[in-house]
């Protein structure tokens, strides 16, 4: 299965020796799925995209420290590319920043949430079990790191997972776009490192709550299986 990783950010250089790169994390996430993958990475920040969108079975984004509503040429170009994928009904998995990019593609607003930072492991309720989902669950836990949130959805979009903090945590937009606000590619060690590194910009009580939440096991392997379910459906 050929996969195109749409890279939207980079691991801070000081953390690369320990954690590698975001595309490494995505590749590692899919190691739990018994399928042979071929990955190619395209750095969207430098307008690097596939020459032929039909060359890949599905596309997946990384997260980003950028906000989707920033007036940056590379973000506008990414939105244009996602519109192209949409028009050709190509499968896309949006992670965090990519989740919000899809919202922008459909002209729905993304804002900096008044609820503040979502960090650590987020506990969400599954409110819809689509037909493609081979393993049904009532709850879904995933590492998060975000301030921005989607606040409205287009007609026809289906919420799969939600919480009081993030009502649109996991969304199926149509038969070819699926996205999640969390980070199924991150491990708890990386989440802990980032939280400690961001103590100057995140309130201390939120940091402590986030660190405590890391005792909850994130459902990374489950989401990897769900992604393949969706792509193959």
pLDDT in tens, 3-14: 999 999 999 999
| pLDDT per position as a tens digit, 113-156 | 999 999 999 999 999 999 999 999 999 999 999 999 999 999 99
Q: Where are the domains of the chain?
A: 2-232
- Classify residue 163 by burial, with Cβ atoms within 10 Å: 0-12, 13-18, 19+: middle
> Which pLDDT score, from 0 to 100, does residue 200 have?
96
CATH (one of 3.40.50.880, 2.70.98.10, 3.30.360.10, 3.40.830.10) for 2-232: 3.40.50.880
In this prediction, residue 79 carries a pLDDT of: 98
Strand 92-95 and strand 110-112: the pairing is unpaired
What is the value of pTM for the model shown? 0.97
Quick check: 35 pLDDT over 90?
no
Q: Spell out where the chain has E strands.
A: 2-7, 38-43, 58-61, 92-95, 110-112, 118-126, 139-146, 148-150, 158-162, 170-172, 177-180
Nearest alpha carbon to residue 20 among 10, 33, 32: 10
* Average pLDDT over every residue of 15-33: 95
């Amino acid at each position: 299965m050929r996969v195109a990783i749409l890279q939207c950010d980079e691991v801070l250089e000081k953390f690369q020796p320990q954690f590698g790169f975001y595309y490494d994390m995505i590749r590692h996430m899919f190691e739990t799925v018994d399928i042979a993958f071929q990955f190619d990475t395209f750095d969207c920040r430098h307008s690097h995209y596939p020459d032929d969108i039909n060359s890949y079975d599905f596309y997946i984004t990384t997260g980003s420290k950028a906000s989707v509503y920033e007036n940056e040429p590379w973000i506008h170009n990414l939105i244009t590319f996602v519109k192209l994928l949409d028009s050709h009904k190509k499968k896309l998995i949006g992670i965090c920043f990519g989740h919000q990019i899809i919202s922008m593609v459909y002209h729905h607003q993304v804002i900096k949430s008044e609820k503040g930072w979502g960090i650590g492991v987020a506990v969400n309720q599954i409110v819809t079990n689509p037909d493609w989902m081979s393993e049904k669950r009532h709850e879904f836990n995933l590492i998060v790191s975000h301030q921005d949130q989607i606040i409205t959805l287009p007609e026809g979009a289906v919420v799969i997972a939600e919480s009081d903090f993030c009502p649109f945590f996991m969304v199926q937009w149509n038969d070819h776009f699926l996205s999640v606000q969390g980070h199924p590619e991150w491990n708890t060690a990386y989440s802990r490192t980032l939280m400690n590194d961001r103590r100057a910009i995140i309130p201390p009580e939120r940091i402590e709550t986030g660190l405590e939440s890391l005792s909850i096991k994130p459902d990374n392997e489950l989401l990897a299986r769900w992604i393949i379910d969706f792509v193959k459906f």
